[in-house]
Amino acid sequence: MPIALLALALSAFGIGTTEFVIMGLLPNVADDLDVSITSAGLLVTGYALGVVVGAPVLTAVLGRLPRKKTILILSGIFLVGNLLCAVAPAYGILMVARFVTACAHGAFFGIASVVAAELVTKDKQASAIAMVFTGSTVANVLGVPLGTFLGQHFGWRSTFWAVTAIALIATIGIAVLVPNIRQDNPPSFRAEMRVLKRRQVLLALLITVFGYGGVFTLFTYITPLLTDVTGFAESTVSWLLVLFGTGLFVGNLVAGKAADRRLMPTVYVVLLALSAVLFAFSFTSHDKTAAAVSVLLLGATAFGTVPPLQMRILAKASDAPAVASAFNISAFNVANAGGSFIGGRVIDTGHSMTALGPVAAVISLIGLGIAAYSGWLDTHGKPSDRDIADQPAATADRAVEGAAPSPAEA
The pLDDT of residue 187 is above 80: no
User: Residue 118 belongs to what domain range?
Assistant: 1-183
Q: What is the mean pLDDT of the chain?
A: 83
**Residues 326 and 210 grouped into a single domain:** yes
**Residues 89 and 158 grouped into a single domain:** yes
Determine the pLDDT at residue 353: 86
Query: Is residue 410 assigned to a domain?
Result: no
**Residues 193 and 136 grouped into a single domain:** no
**Residues 23 and 128 grouped into a single domain:** yes
Query: pLDDT tens across 83-109, in order?
Result: 999 999 999 999 999 999 998 888 888
Residue ending a domain, choose from 183, 218, 240? 183
**Residues listed for the chain:** 410
Query: pLDDT tens across 344-364, in order?
Result: 888 888 888 899 999 999 999
Count up the domains in the chain and report the number: 2
**Residues 377 and 230 grouped into a single domain:** yes
The pLDDT of residue 387 is above 60: no
**Residues 57 and 144 grouped into a single domain:** yes
The pLDDT of residue 250 is above 80: yes
**Residues 64 and 172 grouped into a single domain:** yes
**Residues 151 and 205 grouped into a single domain:** no
Determine the pLDDT at residue 281: 92
Q: What confidence tier does 341 reach under pLDDT thresholds 50, 70, 90?
A: confident
**Residues 204 and 59 grouped into a single domain:** no
**Residues 176 and 191 grouped into a single domain:** no
Determine the pLDDT at residue 385: 63
Determine the pLDDT at residue 384: 65
Residue ending a domain, choose from 134, 162, 183? 183
**Residues 347 and 266 grouped into a single domain:** yes
Query: Is residue 192 assigned to a domain?
Result: yes
